[in-house]
Each structure stands twice: as structure tokens, then as C-alpha cells.
Amino acid sequence: MIQPLALPTPPPDALRRSAEALEAAFLAEMLKSAGAFRPTEGPGSGGEGEAQFASFLADEQARAMVARGGIGLADSIEHALRLRAAGRAS
């Protein structure tokens, strides 16, 4: 069986990267607000270091979510920015 030739996808342009960065920032703040990576308390906790790295973990988790398709916010942002750049803001 002959496999169809997979065409490489073009790299995202600056507008798309910006939209994805904004979606990642939004998701990171939502994760932090939800307490998804809240440090443990009591004996055995990581102390101040754990609190600092919990923020990094939320940021990285948000970037990973966006890389897997996210929640569609980057698509909406990119579309709106492209319309505005074309002079057809809605």
C-alpha cells in the first residue's frame, strides 16, 4: 500500500506565536488560581523552593497544553488580530 506523502507544516509566524503565548499565559494564571500546583504544607513539604517552582510548573504545563491544541483561545486571538491587521476589525 502506498502511503500519501506528508507535507511539512510551515512554522508558525510571529502573530501565531504571540497568540499562543497569550493563551499559555491565560492558562497558567487559571492553573495557579485553581491551586493546581499548590505546594504541600507541613512536614515533608518543599518549603520556599517548592513554592517558587510551583509557578514554573504551572507555566510549563500551560505551554504544553497549548502545544497540544489548548482550549482554542489562540485560534480566536489569531483570527481577530489578522482581521484587525487587514483593516476589517469586527
Q: Which tens digit of pLDDT belongs to each residue from 26-84?
A: 999 999 899 887 766 656 566 667 777 888 899 999 999 999 999 999 999 999 988 88
- Domain with 87, as residue range(s), is 25-32+47-90
Residue 8, amino acid: P
Domain assignment present for 11 = no
User: Does any domain span residue 12?
Assistant: no
Tell me, yes or no, whether 83 lies in a domain.
Answer: yes
Question: What is the reported pLDDT for 79?
Answer: 92
* Closest to 80 (Cα-Cα) out of 15, 27, 34, 24: 15
* Identity of the residue numbered 79: H
Could you tell me if residue 13 is inside a domain?
no
User: What is the spatial distance between Cα 70 and Cα 73, in angstroms, rounded to a whole number?
Assistant: 7
pTM: 0.73
Number of domains in the chain: 1
Angle CA(55)–CA(60)–CA(17) in degrees, nearest 5?
125
Cα 89 to chain centroid, rounded: 25
User: Quick check: is 72 in a domain?
Assistant: yes
Residue 3 counted as domain residue: no
The answer to whether residue 19 sits within a structural domain is no
Q: Does 20 fall in a domain?
A: no
Task: Determine contact, residues 70/19, Cβ cutoff 8 Å.
Answer: no
DSSP 87: T
- What does the alpha-carbon distance between residue 84 and residue 67 come to, in Å, rounded to a whole number? 25
